[in-house]
C-alpha cells in the first residue's frame, strides 16, 4: 500500500524533511495492517524498524505494567512507538491497527543525508527518479572534457555495466581498489569511516579513482541509496585511458622559462606539515592531500597549480583531483633538486 506524503509528514522526524527526502522515505516505508491482540514488539528486544501508529489503538506496556494507550488523537503518536533501541515498552494492538514501519538504518541514513546537506553537501537535483543523461553529464565534467576523443570511444567500449541494489556497498573503505566507477542510474552516498556523509552521487558522477591513482586502499565507502546501475572500468584500462592522459609534467627549467605573459602559477606541496619541516620547495603552498578536496573552493581558476613530486603517489592523486575540479595543473618533476630554489 502506498503512503501519502501528507501522512508521512505528520510524523516526527519526517515533518522536518524536505519534499525530496520525503519521497525517498515514502518509497521505503511500509504500511502494515495488524489484527487486534497482536504483540507488535516486545520490551527489551532489538527491533529493526521504527514503527508509527496510523490508525487504531495500541497499548504500550512498561516494566511496571503501566499502560499508556495511544490512538490517532494522542499527541505522542507523532513519535515512533519504539523511540528507544532496545525499546522500554511492549506494544500490543488493542484494536485492528495500521502501522507505518521504516527501516531504522535507512532512516538514519536519510536524516544524516538531509542534515549534512545543510552544511556542505549539495544534493540539489538528486532524486529517486533522476533520469539525467549520465553520459552527457560525464562528458561535460572537467576530467572527461579534456580527454582525446579516441580515449573516450575506447572508454565506452571497455566499460562494463553492473546492476546494483538499494543499500548495496559498491566500494568499501579500507579495501584495495580494482575498479573505477561511473553511476549510470540511481543515487549513492560517499561515507567516511566515522559514518559522515561526504557527498551525494547522481547519474554521471564517477568515483573510486583515488585508490587507483594513489595505489592505496579506498578512502571512503560508497553505498547505493536506491537501486541503480554502475559502469565500471578495470584498473589497467583506467590507467591507460584516464590517468596517464590527465597527468602532465613540468621541470624546474620549464617553469623558469615560462613566457612573461603566461598565467601565474602556484607550487603546491601535498605532504604533511611534519614532512615539510626539514625541506620544501621555497614558496610552495602546503595543502596536505587529505585537505585538498575541501580546499579546492579556495583555489583560483586563473592560476596554474604545480604539485611537487616529493610526496610519491600523493602528487598523482592531487593532480587528478585538481584536474577533476577543472584546474590547470602539472606535476613538478624532481622537486627535491629545487629545495634551494627554482
Ligand X SMILES: Nc1ncnc2c1ncn2[C@@H]1O[C@@H]2COP(=O)(O)O[C@H]2[C@H]1O
Interacting residues with ligand X (CB under 6 A)? 171, 177, 190, 198-199, 207-211, 218-220, 222, 293
Structure-derived torsion over alpha carbons of residues 3, 73, 49, 87, reported in degrees to the nearest 10: 180
| H helical segments located in the chain | 5-8, 19-28, 104-119, 134-140, 142-145, 149-158, 210-214, 235-238, 252-256, 273-276, 289-295, 314-324
DSSP string for residues in 200-264? EE-TT-EE--HHHHHTSB-SSEEEESS-EEEEEEEHHHHIIIIITTT--EE-HHHHHT--TTSPP
Residues ≥6 apart with Cβ < 8 Å to 102: 25, 28, 29, 30, 49, 50, 52
Q: At its nearest, how many Å lie between ligand X and the CB of residue 216?
A: 7
Q: At its nearest, how many Å lie between ligand X and the CB of residue 213?
A: 8
- Residue 116 corresponds to which cell in the numbers above? 549534512
Closest CA to 184 of 122, 138, 123: 138
Omega before residue 206 within 30° of 0, cis: no
Residues 91/83, Cβ–Cβ less than 8 Å: no
Q: Which is nearer to ligand X, 50 or 223 (CB)?
A: 223
Q: Which is nearer to ligand X, 8 or 182 (CB)?
A: 182
Omega before residue 86 within 30° of 0, cis: yes
Q: At its nearest, how many Å lie between ligand X and the CB of residue 189?
A: 10
Q: Which is nearer to ligand X, 219 or 226 (CB)?
A: 219
Q: At its nearest, how many Å lie between ligand X and the CB of residue 198?
A: 4
Q: Which is nearer to ligand X, 14 or 180 (CB)?
A: 180
The number of CA neighbours under 13 Å toward the Cβ of 198 is 17
Q: Which is nearer to ligand X, 7 or 198 (CB)?
A: 198
Closest CB to ligand X: residue number: 211
Q: At its nearest, how many Å lie between ligand X and the CB of residue 65?
A: 51
Q: Which is nearer to ligand X, 118 or 253 (CB)?
A: 118
Q: Which is nearer to ligand X, 22 or 325 (CB)?
A: 325
Q: At its nearest, how many Å lie between ligand X and the CB of residue 135?
A: 19
Residues ≥6 apart with Cβ < 8 Å to 309: 315, 331, 332, 333, 334, 335
- Residue 236 corresponds to which cell in the numbers above? 589497467
Q: Which is nearer to ligand X, 210 or 310 (CB)?
A: 210
Q: Which is nearer to ligand X, 171 or 281 (CB)?
A: 171
Q: At its nearest, how many Å lie between ligand X and the CB of residue 235?
A: 10
Q: At its nearest, how many Å lie between ligand X and the CB of residue 258?
A: 32
Q: At its nearest, how many Å lie between ligand X and the CB of residue 2?
A: 33
What phi, psi does 177 have (nearest 5°)?
-95, 130
Amino acid at each position: 500500500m502506498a503512503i501519502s506524503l501528507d501522512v508521512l509528514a505528520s510524523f516526527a522526524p519526517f515533518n522536518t524533511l524536505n519534499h525530496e527526502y520525503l519521497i525517498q522515505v515514502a518509497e521505503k516505508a511500509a504500511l502494515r495492517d495488524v489484527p487486534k491482540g497482536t504483540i507488535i514488539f516486545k520490551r527489551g528486544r532489538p527491533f529493526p524498524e521504527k514503527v508509527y501508529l496510523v490508525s487504531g489503538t495500541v497499548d504500550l506496556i512498561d516494566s511496571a505494567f503501566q499502560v499508556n494507550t495511544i490512538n490517532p488523537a494522542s499527541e505522542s503518536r507523532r513519535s515512533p512507538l519504539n523511540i528507544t533501541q532496545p525499546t522500554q515498552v511492549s506494544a500490543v494492538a488493542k484494536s485492528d491497527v495500521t502501522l507505518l514501519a521504516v527501516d531504522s538504518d535507512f532512516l538514519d541514513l536519510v536524516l544524516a543525508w538531509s542534515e549534512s546537506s545543510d552544511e556542505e553537501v549539495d544534493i540539489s537535483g538528486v532524486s529517486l527518479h533522476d533520469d539525467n543523461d549520465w553520459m552527457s553529464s560525464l562528458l561535460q565534467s572537467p576530467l572527461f572534457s579534456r580527454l582525446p576523443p579516441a580515449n573516450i570511444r575506447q572508454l565506452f567500449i571497455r566499460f562494463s555495466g553492473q546492476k546494483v541494489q538499494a543499500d548495496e556497498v559498491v566500494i568499501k573503505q579500507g579495501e584495495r581498489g580494482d575498479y573505477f566507477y561511473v553511476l549510470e542510474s540511481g543515487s549513492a552516498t560517499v561515507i567516511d569511516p566515522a559514518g559522515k556523509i561526504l557527498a551525494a552521487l547522481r547519474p554521471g558522477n564517477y568515483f573510486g579513482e583515488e585508490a587507483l591513482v594513489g595505489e592505496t586502499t579506498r578512502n571512503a565507502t560508497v553505498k547505493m541509496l536506491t537501486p541503480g546501475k554502475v559502469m565500471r572500468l578495470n584498473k589497467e584500462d583506467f590507467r591507460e585511458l584516464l590517468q596517464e592522459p590527465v597527468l602532465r609534467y613540468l621541470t624546474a627549467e620549464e617553469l623558469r622559462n615560462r613566457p612573461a605573459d603566461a598565467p601565474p602559477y602556484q607550487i603546491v606541496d601535498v605532504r604533511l606539515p611534519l614532512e615539510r619541516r626539514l625541506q620544501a620547495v621555497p614558496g610552495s603552498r602546503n595543502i596536505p592531500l587529505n585537505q585538498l578536496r575541501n580546499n579546492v573552493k579556495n583555489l583560483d581558476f586563473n592560476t596554474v597549480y604545480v604539485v611537487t613530486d616529493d610526496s610519491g603517489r600523493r602528487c598523482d592523486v592531487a593532480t587528478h583531483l585538481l584536474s577533476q575540479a577543472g584546474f590547470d595543473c602539472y606535476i613538478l618533476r624532481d622537486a627535491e633538486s629545487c629545495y634551494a630554489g627554482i
